[in-house]
Amino acid sequence: MVKLRIEYDRGGCIAAWACVSIDSENFAMNDNEAKADLVEGTKLTVEGDKWVKEIETDDIDRIIAGANGCPVRVIKVINMDTGEELAPGKAE
């Protein structure tokens, strides 16, 4: 099991669906607002629309793929044990 922190800048979401289709455990589309929601996430700030969630998982590759699939790179995945930023990767 790996401890991960998912940070999501929801304000920048353009509803491209990539995160939802790859990682439906952590992301769900909010049809009313045309934004993805971080499932069971916690809102960080009153201003802006930033969310966070800390999980223990064996499904690290799928979570990274979901974050890397986001075209506007608003999903960050951090390994909480090492502090390493696992996603998003470098822009192509």
DSSP the chain: -EEEEEEEEGGG-----HHHHH-TTTEEEETTTTEEEETT-EE--SSS-EEEEEEEES-HHHHHHHHHT-TT--EEEEETTT--EEES----
* In the complex, minimum distance from the CB of residue 81 to ligand SF4, in angstroms, rounded to a whole number: 25
**Binding-site member from 6, 74, 77, 87 for ligand SF4 (CB under 6 A):** 74
**Binding-site member from 6, 63, 75, 77 for ligand SF4 (CB under 6 A):** 75
Residues numbered 3-62 forming contacts with ligand SF4, rule: CB under 6 A: 13-20, 27, 36
Looking at the Cβ atoms of 72 and 80, the one nearer to ligand SF4 is 72
